[in-house]
Amino acid sequence: MKLQITLTFLFATTLLSQTPDPQKILKRIDDNLRPANRISESKMIINGRRSSRTIVAKSWIRGTDESFSKYLAP
């Protein structure tokens, strides 16, 4: 039991003593901000002199090269 506690302590201190690589941290943040696939719905209100109109669209995006938008209204 004492050996197991000692090994656990040594393993934990080894992990804590390592300094994180800033480039790896930034890459993980970027990967979280830009997922590979995403779906979004947008609404744009256009105010003119006489009237206003609303345009609603839904977009599907895959990677950085492929996207498709469908206009739902009007």
The secondary structure of 9-26, three-state, reads HHHHHHHHHCCCCHHHHH
**In Å, what is the CA distance from 28 to each residue of 23, 62, 65, 66?**
9, 19, 21, 23
Tell me, what's the pLDDT at 51? 93
Which residue blocks in the chain are alpha helix, DSSP H? Answer: 2-17, 22-33
Q: Is 29 helix (H, G, I), strand (E, B) or coil?
A: helix
Residues 52 and 47: their CA atoms lie apart, in Å, by: 4
pLDDT digits (tens, 9 = 90+) for 15-71: 555 677 888 888 888 877 777 888 999 999 999 999 999 999 999 999 878 999 999
pLDDT digits (tens, 9 = 90+) for 9-26: 656 665 555 677 888 888
